Amino acid sequence: MKKIKSEELVLEYFKGVDEENIDAILNTLAKDCVFSIETHGVKLFGHEEITGMFKRLWKNHASVEHNHFHFVKDTAASQVAVRFQVKNILLSGETVLKSNCNFFSLKDGVFSEVKVYMAGQNTLNKENS
């Protein structure tokens, strides 16, 4: 099996987010992945909680799109940071643009931790928040 580059795995993750494909997203995440929205004090543990977060995101938006990726890798520490643009189309039709950064930690070829730094309103809400 070919070893996937961290940038390719990040792009697979965001493709899954943009296409509302939870299986594609989960294929990039360890089963016990820790997913945090650092700017909003949210921490999720494992596939079930992460799945719920993405389903809420998709339910509350007409579409989401991530692009203009800029990567910084730390190969020795198995980490990659990415700055990117987000285009959210709200259910009302309004467009919201953001500039965000995510930090990914890799273990055994998948992400064991994702830390999100999000401009503006939190669109990745935890249940009951």
C-alpha 119/C-alpha 1 separation (Å) is 37
User: Is there a contact between 79 and 103 (Cβ–Cβ < 8 Å)?
Assistant: yes
C-alpha 7/C-alpha 71 separation (Å) is 7
- Give domain limits for the chain: 6-117
Indicate the class that CATH gives domain 6-117. Answer: alpha beta
User: Is there a contact between 28 and 65 (Cβ–Cβ < 8 Å)?
Assistant: no
pLDDT at 74 over 60: yes
Cα dihedral 128, 16, 69, 72 in deg (nearest 10): 80
Longest dimension (CA), the chain: 45
pLDDT (tens digit per residue) in 22-72: 999 999 999 999 999 999 899 999 999 999 999 999 998 999 999 999 999
pLDDT at 127 over 60: no
